[in-house]
Amino acid sequence: MEVGKVYRVSGPVVTAEGLSASMYDVVRVGEEGLMGEVIGISGEKTIIQVYEDTSGIKPGEKVENTGMPLSVELGPGLISSIYDGVQRPLPALQDLTGDFIARGIYAPGLDRKAKWDFSPAVAKGDRVNGGDILGIVQESDVVEHRILVPPRVSGIVTEINEGSFTVEDTVAILDDGTELKLYHKWPVREPRPIKEKLPPNVPLITGQRILDTLFPVAKGGTAAIPGPFGSGKTVTQHQLAKWSDTEIVVYIGCGERGNEMTEVLEEFPELEDPKTGKPLMERTVLIANTSNMPVAAREASVYTGITIAEYYRDMGYDVGLMADSTSRWAEAMREISSRLEEMPGEEGYPAYLASRLAEFYERAGRVVTLNGKVGSVSVIGAVSPPGGDFSEPVTQNTLRIVKVFWALDAKLAARRHFPAINWLQSYSLYVGGLKEWYDKEVSPEWSDLREWAMGILQEEADLQEIVQLVGSDALPENQRLLLEVARLIREMYLQQYAYHEVDTFCDMKKQYDMLKAIKTFSEYAFSALEAGKIVDEIISVKGLEELIRVKFEKDYKARLETILEELKSQLVGA
């Protein structure tokens, strides 16, 4: 190992001299061997960001270079694990040091003692290339782990073994002498290679009506959820983790408050996966990096998370990555940048804030993997703008990159309207690309229905300004009726109860039936208005409130048809 000496210490940033190192090499700093990463080289000086508290480190202490970039271990045992930002397993650290993590402690990302039953997928004499599936390990009850040949490795299999192995045992040998194990390492800042990126034309079905209908995200797409404290960011991400049609969930708690992260760590193992009936943790990887942990590890945590997500994508899985929140990640970058005495940009953030955010989100995508399978990584990043101010740099730079913006609104949350997503501020740029899928898989009317609902909500917003000045009674009858139709869309359709056993998830067929029912009522109501009925008469008809309650019924179809027949007979006659 190359050895240098500490020259200067400034918080998490340490300057070393006499060290021969490359950019992003991992080093061990001081007598305790604190983990750090080279982030700058200036002449004889090497600048290191340390992933642990640097208190007590002084000039003259040794710095050792491992010669390897920051990498994660990829293999069986990732699922249901809880890691810190640099893939140290937190339960293992707790066993070693108790509730408070001691400095300089290291534990491998994958358990070295656990044994896995390996079934080969190739035979002796077969040629394998990087990304090919070498064999299968059953990682959890719901996840089949496909052991991959590391990228950039290829050759003819001269030996392949079946049986029970630890991750460090050799399971295959190639003709050039390369030994293949159940795991391999990959540098976190380098995207894993793919064969081809596919267009975003398949939606990520979430079961949340406002998202699937008005602001859909594609599989392999990117979305941001900005919102002030208490507006429902974490619950929305829980719903996406539970219900979206992804097969693997990677949840990064990046710089959130300790109590919030504790809730996640306690709740996720308790959450039942509705698809399998097993705990949700059986297809989840958690990365916990709270706000009181070292900032440098927070900066690394998103790269650790996206690399694990890409690994499962390469097996052919659809992966959902939840980053909560990218604002804390950006704050970590700002702190390190100030220690490096770099020229600050807007609000003190580094000038490269936009490019770092782009690098992260660009690693999302639906792709053809090196082994020919189709997999995806969908990235959903929560943003926590101070005071709910969407004009601040992190939110603005995120919006330039992501294609979907789910704007959480504190006013809606205060009115107990959840999900508190503001339908006037939010948008999705995937709508056009997904139109063909929705029209084919759901209904040819789907796109027209969506446009109609959005049009009603826009008109309602325009009319509300007048209503606040003169009251709704001053409006013409047709506009008063439009406000009632908009209320129906808001209360029956957009409002959804995360903790109700039926309403927590709404499949696409039910979404279509509900929206179609609201439009059908609207047509009956306006026909009745033209026939001379007054608005008060129309909105007091029997069955209207029952229509709203249909969303809470499991076997709703027959009930919905009965209600619509009743409304038709009352409003337009037989």
DSSP E strands: which ranges in 45-143?
A: 45-50, 62-69, 71-74, 82-83, 116-120, 127-128, 133-138
- Name the band, by pLDDT with cuts 50, 70 and 90, for residue 235: confident
Q: How many CA atoms does the CB half-sphere of 544 hold within 13 Å?
A: 20
Amino acid identity of residue 325, one-letter, is S
* pLDDT 10s digits, 525-546: 999 999 988 888 988 888 888 8
Q: Which two tokens stand for residue 420?
A: 């508190």
Pairing of strands 62-69, 365-368: unpaired
* Residues 214-242, mean pLDDT to the nearest whole number: 88
H or E element that contains 512: helix 508-530
Average pLDDT over the chain reads 91
Amino acid identity of residue 237, one-letter, is Q
Q: Selecting from 1.10.1140.10, 3.30.565.10, 2.60.40.1080, 3.90.1150.10, what CATH number does the domain 446-571 have?
A: 1.10.1140.10
* Residues 240-247, mean pLDDT to the nearest whole number: 89
Q: What is the pLDDT of residue 278?
A: 82
Q: Rounded distance, CA 463 to CA 458, Å? A: 9
Contact 358, 401 (CB under 8 A): yes
Contact 139, 183 (CB under 8 A): no
**Is pTM, for the whole model, over 0.85?**
yes
Indicate the Cα dihedral angle 414, 420, 421, 422, nearest 10°.
-20
Q: Rounded distance, CA 97 to CA 101, Å? A: 6
* Residue that is written with structure tokens 């997999």 in the block: 375
Whether the CA torsion 507, 564, 459, 411 is positive or negative: it is negative
Q: Rounded distance, CA 151 to CA 167, Å? A: 18
Q: What is the pLDDT of residue 5?
A: 95
- Name the band, by pLDDT with cuts 50, 70 and 90, for residue 171: very high
DSSP E strands: which ranges in 239-314?
A: 248-254, 284-289
Domain 196-428 in this protein, CATH class: alpha beta
Q: Of 369, 258, 391, 358, give the one whose Cα is nearest residue 319.
A: 369
H or E element that contains 242: helix 233-243
CATH code of the domain made up of 74-97+110-187: 2.40.50.100
Amino acid identity of residue 274, one-letter, is P
Q: Rounded distance, CA 494 to CA 463, Å? A: 19
DSSP H helical ranges for 319-476 = 326-339, 353-361, 393-401, 410-414, 431-441, 446-470
- Burial pattern 425-459, b for ≥16 Cβ within 10 A else e, equals ebbbbbbebbeeebeeebbeebbebbebbbebbee
- Those residues with Cβ within 8 angstroms of residue 363's Cβ, 6 or more apart along the chain or in another chain: 191, 306, 310, 377, 379
Q: What is the pLDDT of residue 291?
A: 67
- Its CATH architecture, for the domain 2-69, is Beta Barrel (2.40)
Where exactly are the structural domains of the chain?
2-69, 74-97+110-187, 196-428, 446-571
* pLDDT 10s digits, 90-106: 888 888 887 777 787 88
Rg (CA), the chain: 27
Q: Rounded distance, CA 542 to CA 570, Å? A: 8
* pLDDT 10s digits, 358-370: 999 999 999 999 9
* Residues 431-460, mean pLDDT to the nearest whole number: 96
High-pLDDT (> 90) share of the chain, %: 65
Q: How far is CA 416 from the centre of its chain?
A: 25
Lowest mean pLDDT among 153-157, 338-342, 453-457, 493-497: 338-342
Amino acid identity of residue 203, one-letter, is P
High-pLDDT (> 70) share of the chain, %: 98
Q: Which two tokens stand for residue 316?
A: 């052919």
